[in-house]
Amino acid sequence: MIGRIKGILIARQPPWILVDVGGIGYEIETPMSTFFDLPETGHEVDLRTHYAVKEDAVALYGFLRESERALFRSLLKVSGIGAKTALAVLSGVTPDEFARLVQAGDIAALTRVPGIGKKTAERILVELRDRVADLGAGDALRGGAGVAPNDPVGEAGVALQSLGYKPAEVTRLVRDAAAPGDSAEDIIRKALKAALR
């Protein structure tokens, strides 16, 4: 099991990053909450990780905060939630905010996360209500592949699609969120806030 990765961040392509540890490059998928807070490439990064082995794939997920990894792992235990949906949850809300939604029984807010329907939201409430208080101590809403590195709108679109948003919805969210001079992270953050309203 790989529980922590510390090395040099050598590439960022939301939601994927590449971290060099002693000459070995680890490809790690991160939620947008972690992605927004990463240092620039060439700097050291220290991630808590979740190592997943499936029949047809091996995956490594990375988080800057232990509370995010704990929430990710708790979500994976809920029937019907996979890694993609768990990452979408973490990309939209902090562990503290998620705990408040669950404790308040806010099904409507939970169903605004891509991949969570009403039945899944109800399962989350039933299965996590008692455990969710321990997840968030001290972290508000936070607001793929082949995109040109200097195309923040395209990069934001790819990241939102990887979180489960439909192409038409991505187009609308990015169009409404993008402003001249915005970075991909700015656009993604604003789009996620708008999507969760």
- Is 143 part of a structural domain of the chain? no
* 128 and 80 in a common domain: yes
pLDDT tens-digit readout, 72-112? 999 999 988 999 999 988 888 888 888 888 888 888 888 88
User: Residue 105: which domain range?
Assistant: 66-134
pLDDT tens-digit readout, 44-61? 999 999 999 988 889 999
> Given CA atoms 40, 191, 96, 164 in this order, what sign does their dihedral have?
negative
Per-residue model confidence (pLDDT) at position 8: 97
- Is 142 part of a structural domain of the chain? no
Please report, for the domain that includes residue 118, its CATH number: 1.10.150.20
Per-residue model confidence (pLDDT) at position 143: 35
Q: For residue 58, what are the β-bridge partners?
A: 53
* 115 and 86 in a common domain: yes
* 127 and 75 in a common domain: yes
Per-residue model confidence (pLDDT) at position 9: 97
- Is 176 part of a structural domain of the chain? yes
On the question of pLDDT at 30 being above 80, the answer is yes
Copy the structure tokens of residue 8. 């040099």
pLDDT tens-digit readout, 128-156? 877 775 554 433 333 333 333 456 777 88
On the question of pLDDT at 43 being above 90, the answer is yes
**Which bin fits 116, alpha (ψ -120 to 50), beta or left (φ > 0)?**
beta
* 41 and 52 in a common domain: yes
Please report, for the domain that includes residue 35, its CATH number: 2.40.50.140
CA angle, 161 as apex, 159 and 165 as ends, to 5°?
Answer: 125
Per-residue model confidence (pLDDT) at position 130: 74
* 105 and 53 in a common domain: no
Residues contacting 100, CB < 8 A, separation 6+: none
Read out DSSP for 68-80? HHHHHHHHHTSTT
- Is 191 part of a structural domain of the chain? yes
- Is 140 part of a structural domain of the chain? no
> Given CA atoms 130, 131, 132, 133 in this order, what sign does their dihedral have?
positive
Question: Residue 137 to residues 71, 121, 130, 142, 194: CA-CA distances in angstroms?
Answer: 11, 22, 15, 16, 25
* 76 and 48 in a common domain: no
Domain count, the chain: 3
- Is 119 part of a structural domain of the chain? yes
Residues contacting 192, CB < 8 A, separation 6+: 32, 91, 92, 142, 143, 160
pLDDT tens-digit readout, 109-122? 888 887 788 998 89
Average of per-residue pLDDT across 164-192: 84
Instruction: Pick the last residue of a domain from 47, 63, 79.
Output: 63
Backbone φ and ψ for 119, nearest 5 degrees, come out as -65, -40
What three-state secondary structure class fits 28?
Answer: strand
Q: What is the pTM of this model?
A: 0.69
